[in-house]
Amino acid sequence: MNPRGSVNPLHAFQACALGQTMRSLLKAHSVEVMEHAEAMELALAEAARAPEHQDVPIGAVILGPDGSVVAAEHNRTVERSDPTAHAEALAIRAAATTRGDWRLTGHTLVVTLEPCPMCAGAAVWARLDRIVYGAPDPNAGAAWSLYNIPQDARLNHRCDLVAGVKASEASQLLTEFFASKR
């Protein structure tokens, strides 16, 4: 209401438009969360395979624009004696090869742990639309914890971020792995 006690028509319109926008965003977000959770289950299953060859249990899945799985990988740094064989980098490489194009516009990276600077940079260079991750990484996280490479306005591309999807399950895998090493 304005000072005279009547409703300003512009404010009423703005409130109505905002309400409709928020409802559509919430509806779309709840659908995305369900899809992200399902994709994270695949990434967790992939991560569980890494300890078979003494690698840290991190898994990654690339979803195509239609939500289909284009690539799935897990850490292979120990297995390949390659410090760049992170789950995210391997999945991005596999998706680009499958697609026949390094540009993965419209694709989503789903990974169990917040990407490191190398993998966050690879996601930006691959032009991924979105990064969805489980557990934060306070020691090397470059998608919010220490840096925010995917959303750095100084770069020529930015990725949307969704954090915390099945974070406790992802953290548990890592905790159990490192506990077994002590």
Q: What's the pLDDT tens digit per position in 110-154?
A: 999 999 999 999 999 999 999 999 999 999 999 999 999 999 999
168: number of Cβ within 10 Å:
9
Positions marked active-site:
88
For residue 128, what is the DSSP state? -
pLDDT at 20 over 70: no
Q: What is the DSSP letter of 165?
A: T
Candidates 68, 87, 71; CA nearest to 79 is 87
Tens of pLDDT, residues 43-62: 999 999 999 999 999 999 99
Q: Name the pLDDT band for 32 (thresholds 50, 70, 90).
A: low
